[in-house]
Chains A and B, each alone.
Chain A
């Protein structure tokens, strides 16, 4: 077990956002977090990233309590890709990725050749090496998200947390970012909105009203019953091509009448 949440509860002003959430991340897996808006995905992600202290329960990183782990050590094991992080600075792609080496630098530990190598590697991994001198504000949304992923990779993390990384992207970029993420040789936790895309994860955790409703193999989590109860939609599995993964087709639930 590398990253684990034990009985996490978070409330803000008498509203419970997470209740008694526990999960254990397996090395090498791609774990998908799904749930409707307001189900607590982002809050859980923030707790896992160590950015938020849960009211109850604890997060363990390699067996150590997260709130007792120094932020420096944490940042060498765990990297976060946010939904949409922006800047107004005139910063180049390479400079943005170089930020990912900050966990390894100190006021007295200068930039070294190995840092350059890591930055190169990260840029190559997201296929952005050719654009490394481009300025941030000239990039498309998909390119920016690739840079964020490269920055996270430059942290050489064991675990990558991605909070809805494909939000606001067009379908082509959504698919290419997800394919890219899936191929990365690290352990991943990814919050996703698109349930068909979530089917491609190794394991899913379904959140509803701040609690885990189901977890396990995607097909066993995304049952028609769960989809009806949690998302309020009717769903049908389609297998147009037996060699390819199935598709879920959604329609409005009968209970939502106009």
Chain B
């Protein structure tokens, strides 16, 4: 039972987070730019940014400036955008499917997007007419349709308890992931040479090391547009709390709204996967952490999750660069190290909540 004082504290905590997190994001990006194989003082980072943005004319070492501007800053911004986007897809999927375990990675959407991206780049489908991002978007949509359909069949066959519904999504997601990963491997084996294959494999595990300023535009745009659409539909997301029928009787045009939100999710996944590969568990961990912090209402959950996702991935990226000296781990390894235990926790907690 929650007392008045408890909920008031939660409210204050939530507000505090919403005020603090933009500053924390800024700090994370600056630290992400300063920390790396060669450590660069924060003052130099600031001076470089000032030089580039306002022609401030600080004397900065050219190599440092190159590392900061062309390599680390763009990378940190892409990480922030991808973190925000991936975390938001988790919020949307969890709300629409009413399933605490819904996540683009676990549901195989990222795998589908990878297949789509590989089909376009390696197999050369579309003859340059469609971009890698569009291929990934289509892949994510196909995967969603497939997994959602399969999950519905599985849940329909089994008894329709809420626990089995949550499990059905995961089982269908495993089937989907395996299928799309196999397809991806097949396409790579058939068409890519050894050099290409190595590069693709590294990218598939989630990798930010190739990111440059060219990638900043698409990822930031996708994250901002996605956040805007989710925030615009915050009440619709709330309305799904007790299911689609209940949302409909609360005046939500269920089909169009659901279609729009799923499409936006697929766009975000498509863009993020085509730029940085499939990074897992962000959509699972961040929204759940934020529900504890700011509550379940989407007017606060959406901005809080976007910001926290951004911070999470920037920090994860820093960790991936410093945790093993002299070596860069794929960022997916770090997110999975945090995410897998969190996943287990949600699983156990959910079982307890339903097993009364």
Task: Judge whether B52 is part of the interface by a CB distance below 8 angstroms.
Answer: no
Which residues from chain B contact A89 at a C-beta distance below 8 Å? Answer: 241, 291, 296
B98 touches A51 (CB 8 A): no
Q: Does A49 count as interface, using CB distance less than 8 angstroms?
A: yes
Q: Which residues of B contact A87 (CB under 8 A)?
A: 98, 241-242
Contact partner of B251 among A46, A74, A86, A137, CB < 8 A?
A: A74
A95 to B232, CA, bound (A): 19
**Cross-chain contact A95 with B296 (CB below 8 angstroms):** yes
Q: How many angstroms from the CA of A89 to the CA of B100 in the assembled complex?
A: 8
User: How far apart are the CA atoms of A86 and B161 in the complex, in Å?
Assistant: 11
Minimal Cβ-Cβ distance residue in B for A111 = B299
Question: A107 CA to B247 CA in the complex, in Å?
Answer: 16
Interface core residue of B6, B250, B356 (most chain A CB under 10 Å): B250
Task: Tell me which of A76, A96, A102, A133 contacts B2 (CB under 8 A).
Answer: A133
A174 interface residue (CB < 8 Å to B)? no
Asked if B223 is an interface residue, CB under 8 A from chain A, the answer is no
Q: A87-B242, A91-B296 are in contact. Are A71 and B162 (CB under 8 A)?
A: no
Given A92-B7, A95-B296, A107-B235, A102 contacting B251 (CB threshold 8 A): yes
Assess whether A138 is in contact with B7, with CB atoms less than 8 Å apart.
no
B354 beta carbon closer than 8 Å to chain A: yes
Q: Does B193 contact A (CB under 8 A)?
A: no
Q: Give Cα A232 to B200, complex, Å.
A: 69
- Choose from B2, B100, B233, B248 the contact partner of A71 (Cβ within 8 Å): B248
Q: Given A80-B245, A86-B162, A87-B242, 18 other A-B contacts at CB below 8 A?
A: A50-B248, A72-B251, A73-B251, A74-B251, A85-B242, A85-B245, A88-B99, A95-B296, A96-B242, A99-B238, A99-B242, A99-B250, A102-B252, A103-B251, A107-B231, A133-B2, A133-B6, A148-B242
Question: Which B residues form the contact surface with A (CB < 8 A)?
Answer: 1-4, 6-7, 98-100, 162, 166, 231-235, 238-239, 241-243, 245-246, 248-253, 291, 295-297, 350, 353-354, 356
25 A–B contacts, CB within 8 A, in A order: A46-B245, A50-B248, A71-B252, A71-B253, A75-B249, A75-B250, A80-B246, A85-B242, A85-B243, A85-B245, A86-B162, A88-B98, A88-B100, A88-B162, A88-B353, A89-B241, A96-B241, A102-B235, A102-B251, A106-B235, A107-B233, A134-B2, A137-B353, A137-B356, A138-B1
